[in-house]
Amino acid sequence: MDNFDTLDAEQQTARLEQLVRNALPLWGLESSELQLIKFRENAVFRVRAANGEQYALRVHRHAYHSDDALRSELQWIDALDTAGIRVPAVIPTRDGRLFAHVRTDGVPGERQVDLFEWVQGRQLGAVEDGLDASQPIATIYGTIGELAAKLHNQALDWQLPDGFRRHAWDADALAGEEPLWGRFWELPALGDAQRELLLTARDRVHADLLRYQADPANSGRYSLIHADFVAENLLVDGSEVRLIDFDDAGFGWHLFELATALYFERGEAHFDQAYAALVEGYRRYRALPDEQLAHMPLFFAARSFTYLGWVATRPETETARTMTPALVEMSCQAVRDYFDAGSA
């Protein structure tokens, strides 16, 4: 078998389409039309059935989430939907499973595949292209703040099902010896001074996160989080906004969620407006004292580590090839700002 990772995007897509064709009968959708919507690591296809109904089908990267972890993600999505938080409904297979295992020649390993209702609407923005210029900044980030607060309230109140398993975005996962998304300081694109800066910051971030965790004042500010609350994961259709893509969801600090939502706007002229709108929106549904916001430089720095780890461990992706220099500079700036802000 050819190395799948060395194929170009068109060749990879053709092989994944065959895998999807093998999966569709499990949902009774054999004669559907396919369109690739997104392909970074997971691949998401629009499925148009013969009767005109549409769905979003997701092919997961090989051996990333365990079956228990994926099942838990889908259980939380169902719970959020029940709680009135607008997310895509999970469509079970014909025999009632939340996801299926599928394989095909030309695609390495057995892949987990799941299906969701199709959500109409446009993205509020994308990492590569920026925000939707037709939407006011205050509207975008006020909406993100509101949804984040509602999600955190649900997560704190929800009784986890037996066997629930998701990763944690804790001190070790963000700044330990083996971070969740990889040893970011080993990124080949780093210069010596940049690597030294990040290693110094890693030790301090780890200590400050442990200190933050131990402080009773921060109790109730850690739960399940979406962990990718960015504009491209919000779809707008008229007055309705839905949150998609829970692949990174796990247990983490609420401020990490908010830092993620704002991270790629740092350095932009609209950043202060976005920050203020996010906080205002969040406070409509959940308390967020100024004393908490003083810790945001810590969480911006921690978030920056994850993006460097991601590209360091996934050099074959288009995102890594095109965005690594910008991500390095953004991370170094986040670290310098964190140092300037003083200890958390």
Q: What integer pLDDT is reported at residue 18 of this predicted model?
A: 92
Question: 96 with 207, same domain?
Answer: no
Question: 167 with 307, same domain?
Answer: yes
Which residue range is the domain that position 303 belongs to? 123-341
Question: 275 with 301, same domain?
Answer: yes
Distance CA 118, CA 133 (A): 24
Question: 102 with 195, same domain?
Answer: no
Question: 144 with 271, same domain?
Answer: yes
Which domain CATH number covers 63?
Answer: 3.30.200.20
Q: DSSP readout, 216-274?
A: GGGTT-EEEE-S---GGGEEEETTEEEE---TT-EEEEHHHHHHHHHHTTTTSTTHHHH
Of 118, 151, 172, the residue that ends a domain is: 118
Question: 181 with 220, same domain?
Answer: yes
Encoding tokens for residue 101? 């295992």
Q: What integer pLDDT is reported at residue 344 of this predicted model?
A: 46
Question: 164 with 283, same domain?
Answer: yes
Question: 269 with 304, same domain?
Answer: yes
Question: 180 with 324, same domain?
Answer: yes
**Burial label, 98 (beta-carbon count in 10 A; 0-12, 13-18, 19+):** buried
Which domain CATH number covers 162?
Answer: 3.90.1200.10
Strands 100-102 and 111-117, sheet pairing: antiparallel
Q: How many CB atoms lie within 10 A of CB 164?
A: 16
Question: 33 with 175, same domain?
Answer: no
Q: What is the mean pLDDT of each run of 10 residues along the chain (344 residues)?
A: 74 91 94 88 92 94 92 97 92 96 90 94 69 75 93 98 97 97 96 98 98 93 95 81 93 98 93 96 97 97 97 85 95 98 68
The number of distinct structural domains making up the chain is 2
Q: What integer pLDDT is reported at residue 133 of this predicted model?
A: 61
Q: What integer pLDDT is reported at residue 134 of this predicted model?
A: 65
Of 80, 96, 118, the residue that ends a domain is: 118
**Burial label, 202 (beta-carbon count in 10 A; 0-12, 13-18, 19+):** buried
Question: 69 with 209, same domain?
Answer: no
Distance CA 207, CA 343 (A): 10
Question: 178 with 284, same domain?
Answer: yes
Of 118, 136, 167, the residue that ends a domain is: 118
